[in-house]
Amino acid sequence: MINDESIPKPVEGYRVEEMDGELLLYHPQSTATVYMNNTAALVWQLCDGSRETAEIVSILSESFPDASTSVRQDVIRALETFTEQGALEVSGV
């Protein structure tokens, strides 16, 4: 389970692609694909293996103050999806 102290790090080889106006997280060797909305794409960009979940939430809350009540929930949901799809490794869980 992802928590505020979790540190998400991308699995090597995944990249963001835009196809037909949609954002995809794609791994060419495994052909794994994860569809992303704009929020999920921002979360992915902030997952660098050094930031804790709480820091990612804080950055996005500051960037989108009108959405601050749902930012944490959206970040956790995106991280869980990336992890379930094998695109993220999470330490500190």
CATH number, residue 45: 1.10.10.1150
Residue 15, class by beta-carbon neighbours within 10 Å (0-12 exposed, 13-18 middle, 19+ buried)?
exposed
pLDDT average, residue stretch 27-44: 88
Q: What is the pLDDT of residue 93?
A: 59
Domain extent at residue 62: 7-86
**Does 75 reside within a domain?**
yes
Alpha-carbon distance values, 63 to 3, 34, 39, 59, 70 (Å): 21, 24, 11, 6, 13
pLDDT at 28 over 80: yes
C-alpha–C-alpha distance, residues 53 and 75, integer Å: 8
| Residue 41 belongs to some domain of the structure | yes
Task: Confirm whether 78 is domain-assigned.
Answer: yes
Q: What's the pTM?
A: 0.88
Instruction: Count how many domains the chain has.
Output: 1
In a domain, 79, yes or no: yes
